[in-house]
């Protein structure tokens, strides 16, 4: 894994942990039902159990076999490699399926996680990064410096006009993707928000390297106390 990136993959163990409670409930119900005569078990309960178990095993097998990157965190932005839904917030509901997309951190916000479905939602936009104004001309500037400054101001004005046009045509989105099989769980929105709030790429790189260290430490040391430290 590159030092400036943190990649999230599907984890079969994560699937097992998140579905442990409903599986335990199903097991308890199955034991209770097996003690009853077969003819007295409602057909709907049998079908529901089969559907749930099928969905669980399909999700588990998918997490076991699909070892492709799902999300990648970098100092520049978020790479979404898996399938997700992007809905333009224009008053209509027209979600479109996407895959292999990149969003700069400045264009993302408000990450939230639905606790039951483990659906991650983010707000996004395509607003441009505004062009920085040229530094002021010093009082003792030469004619050559003044001429170069005027040329730079002209280029800045042209770039600023394009930025304003891009802002006028900007679109806003709601992104939704399943993170059921990904690590970090309920902490994932907090991790993403910390990268969104960071002032610069150096701060984001420090966050990513901390995640890498904790990931390697939890796999290698087996120290439960260190594994429980929250990511920032």
> 103 and 134 share a domain?
no
> 56 and 145 share a domain?
no
Residue 211 Cα distances to 112, 140, 195, 206, 232, angstroms: 19, 49, 12, 9, 8
> 141 and 112 share a domain?
no
pLDDT of the residue at 117: 80
> 147 and 207 share a domain?
no
pLDDT of the residue at 221: 45
Low-confidence ranges of the chain (pLDDT < 50): 221-232
> 81 and 186 share a domain?
yes
Check residue 117 and report its DSSP letter.
T
pLDDT of the residue at 225: 38
HSE at residue 57, side-chain half, CA atoms within 13 A, is 6
- The C-alpha atoms of residue 9 and residue 11 are separated, in whole angstroms, by 6
Q: Residue 109 phi/psi, 5° resolution?
A: -170, 165
Sole residue written with tokens 């040229």: 134
Domain annotation covers residue 232:
no
Domain annotation covers residue 201:
yes
Instruction: Residue 11: name the closest of 232, 201, 180, 214 by CA.
Output: 180
> 73 and 24 share a domain?
yes
Domain annotation covers residue 160:
yes
User: What's the predicted TM-score (pTM) here?
Assistant: 0.70
Tokens, residue 196? 């969104």
> 106 and 144 share a domain?
no
- Count of structural domains, the chain: 2
> 133 and 61 share a domain?
no
Query: Residue 37's domain spans which residues?
Result: 6-127+170-227
> 133 and 36 share a domain?
no
pLDDT of the residue at 213: 81
pLDDT of the residue at 38: 58
Domain annotation covers residue 1:
no
């Amino acid at each position: 894994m590159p030092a400036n990136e943190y990649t999230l993959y599907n984890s079969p163990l994560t699937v097992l942990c998140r579905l442990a409670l409903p599986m335990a409930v199903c097991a308890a119900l199955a034991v209770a039902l097996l003690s009853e005569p077969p003819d007295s078990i409602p057909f709907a309960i049998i079908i529901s159990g089969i559907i749930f178990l099928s969905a669980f095993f399909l999700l588990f097998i998918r997490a076991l076999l699909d070892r492709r990157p799902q999300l990648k965190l970098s100092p520049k932005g978020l790479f979404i490699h898996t399938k997700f839904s992007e809905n333009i917030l224009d008053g209509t509901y027209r979600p479109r399926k996407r895959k292999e997309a990149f969003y700069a951190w400045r264009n993302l916000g408000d990450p939230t996680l639905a606790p039951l479905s483990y659906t991650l939602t983010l707000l996004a936009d395509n607003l441009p990064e505004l062009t920085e104004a040229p530094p002021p001309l010093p009082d003792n500037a030469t004619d050559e410096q003044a001429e170069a400054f005027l040329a730079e101001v002209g280029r800045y004005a042209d770039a600023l006009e394009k930025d304003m046009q891009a802002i006028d045509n900007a679109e806003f989105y709601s992104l939704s993707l399943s993170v059921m099989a990904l690590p970090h769980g309920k902490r994932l929105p907090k991790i993403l928000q910390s990268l969104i709030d960071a002032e610069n790429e150096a701060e984001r790189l420090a966050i990513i390297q901390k995640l890498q260290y904790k990931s390697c430490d939890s796999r290698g040391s087996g120290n439960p106390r260190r594994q429980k430290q929250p990511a920032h």
